[in-house]
Amino acid sequence: MSGSAWRSFCTLQELCEVARGITYGIVKVGNFVPGGVPVIRGGDIRGGRIEFDDAKRVTEEISRKFSRTILRGGEILLNLIAEPGHSAIAPSTLEGFNVSRDVAVIPVDSEANAQFVDFFLRSKAAIDWLSARLQGSVTQKINLRTLRELPVPIPPRPEQDAIAHILGTLDDKIELNRRMNETLEAMARALFKSWFIDFDPVCGDSRIRVEVAACNPSSESPRVGTIPTGWSLEPLDAVAGFRNGLALQRFRPQADEDRLPVVKIAQLRKGRSHADEWAQASITPECIIDDGDVVFSWSGSLLVRVWCGGQAALNQHLFKVTSERFPRWFYLHWVKHHLGGFVRIAADKATTMGHIRRRHLSEAICAVPPTSVLEAAHPLLSSLVERQVAGELESRTLEAVRDTLLPKLLSGQVRIADAEKFLGARA
Protein backbone atom coordinates (compact mmCIF):
# COMPACT_ATOMS: atom_id res chain seq x y z
CA MET A 1 0.00 0.00 0.00
CA SER A 2 1.35 3.46 -0.89
CA GLY A 3 0.90 6.65 1.07
CA SER A 4 -1.43 8.12 -1.56
CA ALA A 5 -5.17 8.43 -1.05
CA TRP A 6 -7.54 5.75 -2.34
CA ARG A 7 -8.92 6.45 -5.80
CA SER A 8 -11.72 3.89 -5.66
CA PHE A 9 -15.15 5.01 -4.39
CA CYS A 10 -18.64 3.62 -4.53
CA THR A 11 -21.95 4.59 -2.99
CA LEU A 12 -23.05 3.15 0.34
CA GLN A 13 -25.99 1.49 -1.42
CA GLU A 14 -23.61 -0.40 -3.75
CA LEU A 15 -21.92 -1.98 -0.72
CA CYS A 16 -25.16 -3.48 0.59
CA GLU A 17 -27.05 -6.70 0.03
CA VAL A 18 -29.20 -6.23 -3.06
CA ALA A 19 -32.20 -8.08 -1.62
CA ARG A 20 -32.42 -5.90 1.50
CA GLY A 21 -30.85 -2.56 0.62
CA ILE A 22 -30.81 0.35 3.07
CA THR A 23 -34.10 1.06 4.78
CA TYR A 24 -35.58 2.43 7.98
CA GLY A 25 -37.67 0.63 10.56
CA ILE A 26 -41.13 0.68 12.11
CA VAL A 27 -42.98 3.88 11.25
CA LYS A 28 -45.55 3.73 14.06
CA VAL A 29 -44.59 1.45 16.93
CA GLY A 30 -47.88 2.02 18.77
CA ASN A 31 -48.06 1.03 22.41
CA PHE A 32 -45.16 -0.98 23.76
CA VAL A 33 -46.10 -4.44 25.03
CA PRO A 34 -44.42 -6.79 27.50
CA GLY A 35 -42.79 -9.85 25.97
CA GLY A 36 -42.87 -8.45 22.43
CA VAL A 37 -40.09 -7.79 19.91
CA PRO A 38 -37.45 -5.36 21.26
CA VAL A 39 -37.03 -2.16 19.22
CA ILE A 40 -33.76 -0.25 18.81
CA ARG A 41 -34.29 3.52 18.58
CA GLY A 42 -32.01 6.26 17.28
CA GLY A 43 -31.05 7.50 20.74
CA ASP A 44 -29.88 3.99 21.65
CA ILE A 45 -26.91 4.31 19.26
CA ARG A 46 -24.03 6.25 20.80
CA GLY A 47 -20.25 6.01 20.78
CA GLY A 48 -20.17 2.99 18.48
CA ARG A 49 -22.38 1.01 20.88
CA ILE A 50 -26.05 0.08 21.13
CA GLU A 51 -27.70 0.44 24.53
CA PHE A 52 -31.42 -0.22 24.37
CA ASP A 53 -34.36 -0.07 26.76
CA ASP A 54 -35.62 -3.64 27.06
CA ALA A 55 -39.10 -2.35 27.91
CA LYS A 56 -39.50 -0.89 24.41
CA ARG A 57 -41.13 -3.85 22.65
CA VAL A 58 -43.76 -4.14 19.93
CA THR A 59 -46.07 -6.96 18.94
CA GLU A 60 -44.89 -9.69 16.56
CA GLU A 61 -47.55 -8.50 14.09
CA ILE A 62 -46.14 -4.97 13.89
CA SER A 63 -42.58 -6.27 13.60
CA ARG A 64 -43.48 -8.60 10.72
CA LYS A 65 -44.88 -5.66 8.73
CA PHE A 66 -41.31 -4.34 8.66
CA SER A 67 -39.57 -7.65 8.03
CA ARG A 68 -36.72 -6.05 6.04
CA THR A 69 -35.40 -4.43 9.21
CA ILE A 70 -35.66 -7.49 11.46
CA LEU A 71 -32.05 -7.86 12.51
CA ARG A 72 -29.91 -10.87 11.76
CA GLY A 73 -26.76 -9.52 13.41
CA GLY A 74 -23.86 -7.85 11.64
CA GLU A 75 -25.84 -4.97 10.09
CA ILE A 76 -24.78 -1.37 10.63
CA LEU A 77 -27.41 0.67 12.47
CA LEU A 78 -27.34 4.43 11.97
CA ASN A 79 -29.31 7.14 13.76
CA LEU A 80 -31.10 9.22 11.12
CA ILE A 81 -32.12 12.06 13.45
CA ALA A 82 -30.01 15.15 14.26
CA GLU A 83 -26.24 15.10 13.88
CA PRO A 84 -24.62 12.34 11.76
CA GLY A 85 -21.88 10.12 13.11
CA HIS A 86 -23.89 7.82 15.36
CA SER A 87 -23.64 4.27 14.06
CA ALA A 88 -22.79 0.82 15.38
CA ILE A 89 -22.74 -2.79 14.24
CA ALA A 90 -25.59 -4.92 15.58
CA PRO A 91 -24.13 -7.87 17.50
CA SER A 92 -25.51 -11.37 16.99
CA THR A 93 -27.30 -11.07 20.35
CA LEU A 94 -29.75 -8.65 18.71
CA GLU A 95 -30.93 -11.22 16.15
CA GLY A 96 -34.72 -10.99 15.83
CA PHE A 97 -34.88 -7.40 17.14
CA ASN A 98 -36.35 -4.63 15.01
CA VAL A 99 -35.67 -0.88 14.75
CA SER A 100 -37.73 2.29 14.78
CA ARG A 101 -38.35 4.84 12.02
CA ASP A 102 -35.33 6.94 13.06
CA VAL A 103 -32.84 4.11 12.52
CA ALA A 104 -31.40 3.04 9.16
CA VAL A 105 -30.43 -0.63 8.76
CA ILE A 106 -27.39 -0.97 6.49
CA PRO A 107 -26.75 -4.65 5.58
CA VAL A 108 -23.21 -4.51 4.16
CA ASP A 109 -22.48 -7.24 1.62
CA SER A 110 -19.87 -9.84 2.54
CA GLU A 111 -17.52 -8.49 -0.12
CA ALA A 112 -16.88 -5.41 2.05
CA ASN A 113 -15.77 -5.24 5.68
CA ALA A 114 -18.75 -3.95 7.66
CA GLN A 115 -16.53 -2.67 10.48
CA PHE A 116 -14.48 -0.66 7.98
CA VAL A 117 -17.68 0.88 6.58
CA ASP A 118 -18.94 1.62 10.10
CA PHE A 119 -15.71 3.44 10.94
CA PHE A 120 -16.10 5.48 7.77
CA LEU A 121 -19.65 6.46 8.77
CA ARG A 122 -18.20 7.83 12.01
CA SER A 123 -15.41 9.73 10.22
CA LYS A 124 -15.30 13.49 9.70
CA ALA A 125 -15.52 13.03 5.93
CA ALA A 126 -18.84 11.16 6.17
CA ILE A 127 -20.20 13.41 8.91
CA ASP A 128 -19.40 16.57 6.93
CA TRP A 129 -20.91 15.16 3.72
CA LEU A 130 -24.14 14.11 5.44
CA SER A 131 -24.35 17.26 7.59
CA ALA A 132 -24.33 19.42 4.47
CA ARG A 133 -27.38 17.50 3.21
CA LEU A 134 -29.57 17.26 6.31
CA GLN A 135 -33.26 17.96 5.78
CA GLY A 136 -36.06 19.25 7.97
CA SER A 137 -36.92 22.68 9.34
CA VAL A 138 -37.60 21.63 12.94
CA THR A 139 -35.85 18.29 13.34
CA GLN A 140 -32.83 17.79 11.13
CA LYS A 141 -32.56 14.30 9.73
CA ILE A 142 -30.67 12.23 7.17
CA ASN A 143 -32.77 11.42 4.13
CA LEU A 144 -32.57 7.76 3.15
CA ARG A 145 -31.91 8.59 -0.50
CA THR A 146 -29.02 10.84 0.54
CA LEU A 147 -27.58 8.11 2.75
CA ARG A 148 -27.66 5.64 -0.12
CA GLU A 149 -25.67 8.05 -2.28
CA LEU A 150 -22.91 8.62 0.31
CA PRO A 151 -19.54 8.07 -1.43
CA VAL A 152 -17.39 5.54 0.46
CA PRO A 153 -13.65 5.07 -0.21
CA ILE A 154 -12.97 1.42 -0.98
CA PRO A 155 -9.42 0.12 -0.67
CA PRO A 156 -8.72 -3.55 -1.47
CA ARG A 157 -10.32 -5.96 1.00
CA PRO A 158 -7.04 -6.85 2.81
CA GLU A 159 -6.51 -3.13 3.56
CA GLN A 160 -10.11 -2.81 4.75
CA ASP A 161 -9.56 -5.72 7.13
CA ALA A 162 -6.28 -4.29 8.43
CA ILE A 163 -7.74 -0.82 8.99
CA ALA A 164 -10.78 -2.27 10.76
CA HIS A 165 -8.46 -4.35 12.96
CA ILE A 166 -6.29 -1.36 13.95
CA LEU A 167 -9.21 0.93 14.76
CA GLY A 168 -11.19 -1.92 16.29
CA THR A 169 -8.32 -2.70 18.67
CA LEU A 170 -8.50 0.85 19.99
CA ASP A 171 -12.29 0.64 20.31
CA ASP A 172 -11.99 -2.69 22.12
CA LYS A 173 -9.62 -1.17 24.69
CA ILE A 174 -11.96 1.78 25.19
CA GLU A 175 -14.88 -0.61 25.68
CA LEU A 176 -12.83 -2.69 28.13
CA ASN A 177 -12.12 0.44 30.16
CA ARG A 178 -15.83 1.32 30.15
CA ARG A 179 -16.79 -2.11 31.46
CA MET A 180 -14.04 -2.04 34.06
CA ASN A 181 -15.25 1.35 35.27
CA GLU A 182 -18.79 0.00 35.55
CA THR A 183 -17.45 -2.79 37.75
CA LEU A 184 -15.40 -0.34 39.85
CA GLU A 185 -18.45 1.89 40.23
CA ALA A 186 -20.60 -1.01 41.43
CA MET A 187 -17.89 -1.99 43.92
CA ALA A 188 -17.58 1.57 45.20
CA ARG A 189 -21.34 1.98 45.61
CA ALA A 190 -21.64 -1.31 47.49
CA LEU A 191 -18.70 -0.50 49.74
CA PHE A 192 -19.94 3.00 50.51
CA LYS A 193 -23.42 1.69 51.31
CA SER A 194 -21.95 -0.97 53.58
CA TRP A 195 -19.83 1.50 55.54
CA PHE A 196 -21.90 4.69 55.62
CA ILE A 197 -25.53 3.67 55.07
CA ASP A 198 -25.71 0.23 56.71
CA PHE A 199 -22.74 0.79 59.08
CA ASP A 200 -21.63 -2.83 58.66
CA PRO A 201 -18.01 -2.35 59.81
CA VAL A 202 -19.02 -0.67 63.07
CA CYS A 203 -22.28 -2.40 63.98
CA GLY A 204 -22.42 -6.03 64.99
CA ASP A 205 -19.93 -8.71 64.00
CA SER A 206 -17.39 -6.68 62.02
CA ARG A 207 -14.50 -8.18 60.10
CA ILE A 208 -13.04 -4.72 59.52
CA ARG A 209 -11.64 -3.50 62.84
CA VAL A 210 -11.94 0.24 63.49
CA GLU A 211 -11.86 2.14 66.77
CA VAL A 212 -15.47 3.32 67.22
CA ALA A 213 -18.17 2.99 69.82
CA ALA A 214 -20.97 0.45 69.61
CA CYS A 215 -24.24 1.32 67.92
CA ASN A 216 -26.59 3.60 69.78
CA PRO A 217 -30.19 2.63 68.90
CA SER A 218 -31.55 5.86 70.36
CA SER A 219 -29.77 8.06 67.82
CA GLU A 220 -32.15 8.05 64.87
CA SER A 221 -32.90 10.05 61.74
CA PRO A 222 -35.87 9.51 59.44
CA ARG A 223 -33.52 9.81 56.46
CA VAL A 224 -30.53 7.80 57.62
CA GLY A 225 -31.85 5.64 60.41
CA THR A 226 -29.90 4.53 63.47
CA ILE A 227 -26.31 5.77 63.46
CA PRO A 228 -23.39 4.59 65.59
CA THR A 229 -22.28 6.50 68.65
CA GLY A 230 -19.68 9.09 67.74
CA TRP A 231 -21.20 9.76 64.33
CA SER A 232 -23.17 12.90 63.40
CA LEU A 233 -25.82 13.89 60.90
CA GLU A 234 -25.08 16.82 58.60
CA PRO A 235 -26.78 18.32 55.56
CA LEU A 236 -25.21 17.68 52.18
CA ASP A 237 -24.32 21.34 51.69
CA ALA A 238 -22.31 21.23 54.92
CA VAL A 239 -20.41 18.15 53.78
CA ALA A 240 -19.49 19.84 50.48
CA GLY A 241 -19.63 23.20 48.76
CA PHE A 242 -21.75 23.60 45.61
CA ARG A 243 -20.56 26.36 43.27
CA ASN A 244 -22.92 27.11 40.40
CA GLY A 245 -21.46 27.74 36.96
CA LEU A 246 -21.77 30.98 34.99
CA ALA A 247 -24.02 32.22 32.20
CA LEU A 248 -21.09 31.85 29.85
CA GLN A 249 -22.69 33.61 26.90
CA ARG A 250 -21.60 36.77 28.73
CA PHE A 251 -17.98 35.65 28.76
CA ARG A 252 -17.24 34.95 25.10
CA PRO A 253 -13.55 35.41 24.29
CA GLN A 254 -12.13 37.88 21.81
CA ALA A 255 -9.99 36.54 18.99
CA ASP A 256 -6.74 37.21 20.86
CA GLU A 257 -7.91 36.00 24.30
CA ASP A 258 -7.09 32.71 25.99
CA ARG A 259 -10.13 30.47 25.96
CA LEU A 260 -11.64 27.38 27.51
CA PRO A 261 -14.24 25.00 26.05
CA VAL A 262 -17.70 25.26 27.59
CA VAL A 263 -19.31 22.43 29.54
CA LYS A 264 -23.09 22.28 29.68
CA ILE A 265 -25.35 19.40 30.68
CA ALA A 266 -24.95 17.68 27.30
CA GLN A 267 -21.16 17.77 27.56
CA LEU A 268 -21.27 16.50 31.15
CA ARG A 269 -23.35 13.55 29.99
CA LYS A 270 -20.88 12.77 27.20
CA GLY A 271 -17.85 13.40 29.40
CA ARG A 272 -16.32 15.69 26.75
CA SER A 273 -16.36 19.47 26.32
CA HIS A 274 -17.81 21.28 23.32
CA ALA A 275 -14.98 22.36 21.02
CA ASP A 276 -17.25 24.81 19.15
CA GLU A 277 -18.30 26.90 22.17
CA TRP A 278 -15.73 28.84 24.15
CA ALA A 279 -15.46 31.09 27.20
CA GLN A 280 -12.78 33.43 28.46
CA ALA A 281 -10.05 31.64 30.40
CA SER A 282 -10.00 34.57 32.83
CA ILE A 283 -13.35 33.68 34.44
CA THR A 284 -13.36 33.04 38.17
CA PRO A 285 -11.28 29.93 38.96
CA GLU A 286 -14.18 28.52 41.00
CA CYS A 287 -16.07 28.01 37.72
CA ILE A 288 -13.21 26.26 35.93
CA ILE A 289 -13.17 22.47 36.09
CA ASP A 290 -10.35 20.05 35.42
CA ASP A 291 -9.80 16.30 35.37
CA GLY A 292 -10.90 14.75 38.64
CA ASP A 293 -13.40 17.44 39.66
CA VAL A 294 -16.89 16.41 40.76
CA VAL A 295 -19.66 18.05 38.70
CA PHE A 296 -23.39 17.82 39.45
CA SER A 297 -26.12 19.03 37.08
CA TRP A 298 -29.04 20.26 39.16
CA SER A 299 -31.40 21.18 36.31
CA GLY A 300 -32.81 19.29 33.35
CA SER A 301 -31.03 15.93 33.31
CA LEU A 302 -29.79 15.45 36.86
CA LEU A 303 -26.53 13.54 37.02
CA VAL A 304 -23.23 13.58 38.85
CA ARG A 305 -19.85 12.46 37.56
CA VAL A 306 -16.13 12.90 38.04
CA TRP A 307 -15.10 15.06 35.11
CA CYS A 308 -12.33 13.66 32.90
CA GLY A 309 -12.73 15.82 29.80
CA GLY A 310 -9.88 18.27 30.40
CA GLN A 311 -9.87 21.85 31.65
CA ALA A 312 -13.09 23.66 30.80
CA ALA A 313 -15.47 26.45 31.79
CA LEU A 314 -18.55 25.44 33.77
CA ASN A 315 -21.90 26.74 32.55
CA GLN A 316 -24.86 27.61 34.77
CA HIS A 317 -27.16 24.77 35.93
CA LEU A 318 -24.04 22.81 36.90
CA PHE A 319 -22.42 22.67 40.32
CA LYS A 320 -18.71 22.21 40.89
CA VAL A 321 -18.67 20.17 44.10
CA THR A 322 -15.72 20.54 46.48
CA SER A 323 -14.90 20.15 50.17
CA GLU A 324 -12.16 21.33 52.49
CA ARG A 325 -13.24 18.86 55.17
CA PHE A 326 -13.75 15.56 53.40
CA PRO A 327 -12.07 13.53 50.64
CA ARG A 328 -13.56 13.47 47.15
CA TRP A 329 -14.96 9.95 47.38
CA PHE A 330 -16.97 10.84 50.49
CA TYR A 331 -18.95 13.79 49.13
CA LEU A 332 -19.13 12.22 45.66
CA HIS A 333 -20.96 9.16 46.98
CA TRP A 334 -23.24 11.17 49.22
CA VAL A 335 -24.37 13.19 46.19
CA LYS A 336 -24.89 9.93 44.30
CA HIS A 337 -26.82 8.51 47.26
CA HIS A 338 -29.26 11.43 47.22
CA LEU A 339 -29.43 11.73 43.43
CA GLY A 340 -32.54 9.54 43.11
CA GLY A 341 -34.41 11.80 45.54
CA PHE A 342 -33.28 14.89 43.68
CA VAL A 343 -34.49 13.39 40.39
CA ARG A 344 -37.93 12.77 41.90
CA ILE A 345 -38.08 16.36 43.19
CA ALA A 346 -37.17 17.71 39.75
CA ALA A 347 -39.74 15.47 38.06
CA ASP A 348 -42.49 16.99 40.18
CA LYS A 349 -41.76 20.50 38.92
CA ALA A 350 -44.50 21.92 36.74
CA THR A 351 -41.93 23.57 34.46
CA THR A 352 -40.38 22.55 31.17
CA MET A 353 -37.05 21.94 32.88
CA GLY A 354 -37.21 20.22 36.27
CA HIS A 355 -34.62 21.24 38.84
CA ILE A 356 -33.78 21.28 42.51
CA ARG A 357 -33.17 24.26 44.79
CA ARG A 358 -30.40 24.85 47.29
CA ARG A 359 -32.76 24.09 50.15
CA HIS A 360 -32.97 20.53 48.87
CA LEU A 361 -29.22 20.21 49.45
CA SER A 362 -29.81 21.29 53.05
CA GLU A 363 -32.59 18.74 53.47
CA ALA A 364 -30.42 15.87 52.21
CA ILE A 365 -28.88 14.34 55.34
CA CYS A 366 -25.52 12.55 55.49
CA ALA A 367 -24.03 10.33 58.18
CA VAL A 368 -20.59 11.69 59.08
CA PRO A 369 -18.22 9.26 60.85
CA PRO A 370 -15.39 9.89 63.29
CA THR A 371 -11.97 10.52 61.78
CA SER A 372 -10.87 6.94 62.52
CA VAL A 373 -13.60 5.48 60.32
CA LEU A 374 -12.92 7.97 57.55
CA GLU A 375 -9.23 7.10 57.60
CA ALA A 376 -9.95 3.36 57.58
CA ALA A 377 -12.26 3.65 54.56
CA HIS A 378 -10.10 6.11 52.64
CA PRO A 379 -7.56 3.71 51.05
CA LEU A 380 -10.35 1.50 49.71
CA LEU A 381 -12.81 4.06 48.35
CA SER A 382 -10.22 6.58 47.20
CA SER A 383 -8.44 3.89 45.19
CA LEU A 384 -11.66 2.90 43.41
CA VAL A 385 -12.36 6.49 42.32
CA GLU A 386 -8.75 7.03 41.24
CA ARG A 387 -8.80 3.87 39.13
CA GLN A 388 -12.01 5.02 37.45
CA VAL A 389 -10.45 8.40 36.65
CA ALA A 390 -7.32 6.70 35.29
CA GLY A 391 -9.47 4.51 33.05
CA GLU A 392 -11.42 7.50 31.75
CA LEU A 393 -8.25 9.45 31.01
CA GLU A 394 -6.70 6.48 29.20
CA SER A 395 -9.85 6.14 27.10
CA ARG A 396 -9.71 9.85 26.27
CA THR A 397 -6.16 9.38 24.99
CA LEU A 398 -7.15 6.30 23.00
CA GLU A 399 -10.08 8.16 21.47
CA ALA A 400 -7.75 10.98 20.41
CA VAL A 401 -5.38 8.46 18.78
CA ARG A 402 -8.28 6.71 17.04
CA ASP A 403 -9.80 9.97 15.81
CA THR A 404 -6.41 11.09 14.49
CA LEU A 405 -5.72 7.82 12.69
CA LEU A 406 -9.27 7.34 11.42
CA PRO A 407 -9.32 9.86 8.55
CA LYS A 408 -5.70 9.19 7.59
CA LEU A 409 -6.15 5.43 7.41
CA LEU A 410 -9.48 5.67 5.63
CA SER A 411 -8.01 8.02 3.02
CA GLY A 412 -4.82 6.00 2.55
CA GLN A 413 -2.63 8.89 3.75
CA VAL A 414 -1.05 6.76 6.50
CA ARG A 415 0.48 3.37 5.86
CA ILE A 416 -1.07 0.48 7.75
CA ALA A 417 2.39 -0.75 8.71
CA ASP A 418 3.23 2.67 10.18
CA ALA A 419 -0.01 2.71 12.18
CA GLU A 420 0.67 -0.78 13.51
CA LYS A 421 4.22 0.23 14.46
CA PHE A 422 2.90 3.34 16.24
CA LEU A 423 0.33 1.38 18.22
CA GLY A 424 2.87 -1.33 19.02
CA ALA A 425 5.16 1.31 20.51
CA ARG A 426 2.31 2.54 22.74
CA ALA A 427 1.40 -0.93 23.99
Q: Are 272 and 352 part of one and the same domain?
A: yes
pLDDT tens, position by position, 50-84: 998 888 999 999 999 999 999 999 999 999 997 89
Q: Are 289 and 339 part of one and the same domain?
A: yes
Q: Are 287 and 380 part of one and the same domain?
A: no
Confidence of residue 209 (pLDDT cuts 50, 70, 90): very low
Specify if 222 maps to a domain. no
What is the C-alpha separation between 169 and 60, in angstroms, rounded?
37
Of 124, 83, 79, residue with least CA distance to 104: 79
> Which of these three, 349, 368, 387, is where a domain ends?
368
Q: Are 417 and 291 part of one and the same domain?
A: no
- pLDDT in the model for residue 60: 94
Residue 151's identity, in one-letter code, is P
For the chain, the domain total comes to 3
pLDDT tens, position by position, 135-182: 987 888 999 999 999 999 999 999 999 999 999 999 999 999 999 999
Q: Are 21 and 106 part of one and the same domain?
A: yes
Higher pLDDT, 349 or 96: 96
* Residue 352, pLDDT above cutoff 70: no
Least confident segment among 123-127, 132-136, 162-166, 413-417: 413-417
Radius of gyration for the chain, computed over Cα atoms and rounded to the nearest angstrom:
25
Q: Are 43 and 104 part of one and the same domain?
A: yes
Specify if 28 maps to a domain. yes
Specify if 148 maps to a domain. yes
Q: Are 352 and 257 part of one and the same domain?
A: yes
> Which of these three, 320, 341, 368, is where a domain ends?
368
- pLDDT in the model for residue 426: 64
Strands of 213-317 (E only): list them.
232-235, 241-244, 259-263, 274-280, 288-289, 294-297, 303-306, 312-314
- pLDDT in the model for residue 258: 95
Q: Are 145 and 40 part of one and the same domain?
A: yes
Of 32, 16, 114, 117, residue with least CA distance to 68: 16
Q: Are 364 and 374 part of one and the same domain?
A: no
Specify if 218 maps to a domain. no
Specify if 3 maps to a domain. no
Q: Are 375 and 355 part of one and the same domain?
A: no
Q: Are 142 and 203 part of one and the same domain?
A: no
Specify if 114 maps to a domain. yes
* Residue 349, pLDDT above cutoff 70: no
> Which of these three, 368, 397, 413, is where a domain ends?
368
Specify if 190 maps to a domain. no
What is the C-alpha separation between 49 and 55, in angstroms, rounded?
18
Specify if 78 maps to a domain. yes
Domain span at residue 317 reads 232-368
CATH of the domain at 282: 3.90.220.20
Give the predicted TM-score (pTM) of the model.
0.85
Confidence of residue 3 (pLDDT cuts 50, 70, 90): very low
Q: Are 169 and 277 part of one and the same domain?
A: no
